[in-house]
Structure 1
């Protein structure tokens, strides 16, 4: 009820963006957790092969999303969101019928790329449709809806995957097509994100411009490093628990951890996130990173479900501060006609999430399991250094 009243405070254009964020994320959350089962059953891929299959598609789509950001800045926002959502739906639909692993790989790449473009367009649209003072709260609403989708989606996927491991593809495609029908009817046509950028400037020239913005570079690197820690925490915690206990205990603890994460985000994301201010961005980021460190310490010391739940609650407080703070800083420094490109650069932080389980797996294979958490803490500390540089340059030391 509270969320419904909250959404009424925003104009229809922004609520459509929230709808795009919720429904497309829900479609992804229904399918992604069960992709491993699908690839194993349908194509007989090994665990190592599945990791390479899914991980490389995520990494490549993150890089390609840079061009998606370029399109967001250059094209009618209506066409960008409708086109990307249609590609998302079409990729999922064809994924169900794909009989060749190579074809499915191409479809998975298209699905992830389309998801990234919708995400970039939503963040850019919030920056365009709302005054700066209202954006922190809006970014927090967006992130809350994202986490609601990720909390609900896997349960829907589990219910239908019992019948057929490919059914999550069809359910996700139906949800995305439903959004496309809604947006086709309600979306406002003719809204272009580009306001004052020169349309003649090409993608490569803009890429070189981005590399010269030291604030963006520092925050992008900081985001990649911090995403190693929070981007795929469930994957590396599962790896650690399997290495230090039984698979049954690992499954039980991870269930508690994921439920705690979802609950804390849904309850606290908006009230905490709306209080984040750009003029104090570095302080908020340091507080969030400090929560990550405390959470990692809690994971290292936890010897039962209660310890893991408490550690996850603290860790999640860091997450609900750091992610909206990053959104807000990028929104503040992005030129009006280049929000899409700036947000697509920020999306490269997904690379950190993809590499996290790989790095943790290497540590678990080559050293004592307990060394995993100091390694992750080191990434937090180094990311703090890059955030510090970006915030100092961006605000003249304020």
Structure 2
């Protein structure tokens, strides 16, 4: 499906979100350093964890609101909310005012509004794209984000130190422009839902009914055994790719002080920078190609094989101290990542009932949130067991996730054979 054949909603989003993401990644990687210097490492760590917890709840609430009040509505409100948060953050880091505390509050608010935006944006793709093309469209959006991840920090390293106020101000303006574009140039795509009007027999519903309705809907999701297996498998395999900015850089730094690469002498930190750039570059170049390739195979085989390849790559990382082997391991690691980029989003869209897509996408993000919460344990574990055993344990968890995926698809087959089909096709 060519971009020129896309629904207008998606064309507007692709352009606007690309600009917003590039600007965002020009300062986001440096905020941890900013807050650490302002509050100290321990306090900054606690504050960032608290910020993430708020974002988790906002994500779940965002999924509910996307289904009840509409995708466009939530995306427009979220864009303006982020823009306002960044605008205040800019003035909290300006020549007239320097307040790290106010900046952190604004950063948290921006994260919350971003969490409101994400489920609606994913559900909108599922609303307007035919099932056979969804993986491809999700892959293009993923590629756009990763191009921003590659370009943004490079530009940020040049401009952030001396132009933080200007970067934050630019981000605020771009968010608000995106909000205007979404408001004027897109249409609502959510299925008609009378509950969204918040009325019952012509009478307004009490405010607390929204909360009780949300708990009822997420209870339905929690009872979906197939979906729960999907989340559990995602948490297990997530212990590997979450190490990209946790255990892997620490291990590389500890395993070699310097190394030679193409006649250049690099420090451990620089070697990690090389393989991180390798990951971003490969993702930007090959996401669409690999996704198109993977759609030819059964989803069962793609999910299981991706987990096993993750296991192989993380195992190799722990068995070597060679810069060239690190590069090879990262190439294998990235291939495992690309195998499921578009496939897993399309899988969620097929698994979810049409009127609950936003909530399913929000709940599905828990596999990343929970994985990110547990992942730092690997660093502590490595102090006790050593790097080699830790990496072997991570490989074992990835292999176990493959088993979980196998059980999940067995569950799907049983439901289909019992003539209780769910909207998931296990064929290519």
TM-score (norm 1): 0.89
Which residue of 1 is the match for residue 95 of structure 2? none
Q: Which residue is equivalent to 1:362?
A: 380
Deviation of the 1:317 alpha carbon: 0.5
Closer, same or farther: CA 165–241 of 1 in aligned 2, 3 Å: farther
Q: Closer, same or farther in 2 for the Cα pair 1:56/1:374, shift >3 Å?
A: farther
Range with greater deviation from structure 2 (109-118 or 308-317): 109-118
Deviates more, 1:339-348 or 1:76-85: 76-85
Alignment of 1:52-91 (within 5 A): 52-91=46-85
Aligned ranges for residues 79-228 of structure 1 at < 5 Å?
Answer: 79-98=73-92, 102-165=101-164, 167-188=166-187, 191-195=188-192, 199=196, 202-228=213-239
8 Å Cα contact 1:20/1:179 also seen in 2: yes
Q: Give the whole-Å Cα distance in 2 for the aligned partners of 1:340 and 1:325.
A: 17
Residue 321, structure 1, aligned to residue 320, structure 2: no
Q: Does 1:14 align with 2:5?
A: no
Residue ranges of structure 1 left out of the alignment (5+ in a row): none
RMSD: 2.6
Q: Counterpart of 1:386?
A: 404
8 A contact 1:74–1:192 mirrored in 2 = no
| 2:277 matched residue in structure 1 | 259
Q: How far apart, in 2, do the equivalents of 1:196 and 1:155 lie? A: 45
Question: Which entry has the higher C-alpha Rg, 1 or 2?
Answer: 2
Shift of 1:149: 1.4
Aligned partner (choices 210, 226, 242) of residue 253 of structure 2: 242
Indicate the residue corresponding to 1:26 in structure 2: 22
Shift of 1:36: 1.6
2:294 pairs with one of 263, 276, 289: 276
Instruction: Structure 2 unaligned segments of length 5 or more: list them.
Output: 93-97, 199-211, 259-265, 417-425
Q: Describe the shift of the 1:92–1:391 C-alpha distance in structure 2 as closer, same or farther (beyond 3 A).
A: farther
* CA distances 1:93-113 after superposition (whole Å, capped 9, x unpaired): 222334555544433332222
Query: Which runs of 4 or more aligned residues in structure 1 lie more than 6 Å from their structure 2 counterparts after TM superposition?
Result: none
Q: Go from structure 1 to structure 2 and tell me whether the alpha carbon gap of 1:128 and 1:138 turns closer, same or farther (over 3 Å shift).
A: same
Supply the distance in 2 between the matched residues of 1:241 and 1:96 (Cα, whole angstroms): 36
SS of alignment partner, residue 340 of structure 2: helix
Identify which range, 131-140 or 386-395, moves more after superposition.
Answer: 386-395
Provide the rounded CA distance (Å) in 1 between the counterparts of 2:401 and 2:27.
Answer: 31
> What displacement does 1:20 show?
4.7
Mapped contact 1:300–1:370 kept (Cα < 8 A): yes
Q: In the alignment, is the contact (CA less than 8 A) between 1:241 and 1:249 conserved in 2?
A: no
Q: 1:228, 1:355 within 8 Å by CA — same for their partners in 2?
A: no
2:314 and 2:243 map into 1 onto residues whose CA distance is 14
CA contact (8 A) 2:17 2:178 kept: no
- In the aligned structure 2, how far is the partner of 1:333 from the partner of 1:153? 34
Aligned counterparts of 2:46 and 2:150: Cα–Cα separation in 1: 26
Q: CA deviation at 1:196?
A: 5.9
Contact 1:197 1:336 in 2 (8 A): no
Q: In the alignment, is the contact (CA less than 8 A) between 1:24 and 1:176 conserved in 2?
A: yes
8 A contact 2:236–2:401 mirrored in 1: yes
> Which residue of the partner structure matches residue 209 of structure 2?
none
Structure 1 residue 120: Cα displacement: 1.5
Q: Quick one: structure 1 residues 84 and 115, their matched pair in 2 at CA, closer, same or farther if it must change by over 3 Å? A: same
Contact 1:75 1:192 in 2 (8 A): no
Alpha-carbon offset, residue 330 of structure 1: 0.7
Instruction: Measure how far apart 1:377 and its partner are.
Output: 1.4
Distance in 2 of aligned mates of 1:30 and 1:112: 16
In the alignment, structure 1 residue 348 sits paired with structure 2 residue 366: yes
Counterpart-to-counterpart distance in 2, 1:380 and 1:54 = 27
Look up the match of 1:50. 44
Relative to the length of structure 2, the TM-score reads 0.83
The answer for the alignment partner of 2:261 in structure 1 is none
- Residues 358, 49 of structure 1: CA spacing in aligned structure 2 closer, same or farther, 3 A cutoff? farther
- Contact kept? 1:18, 1:122, Cα under 8 Å: no
Q: Could you tell me how far apart the structure 2 residues matched to 1:52 and 1:242 are?
A: 25
Aligned length: 390
Shift of 1:31: 2.6
- Give the whole-Å Cα distance in 2 for the aligned partners of 1:178 and 1:37: 29
2:421 alignment counterpart? none
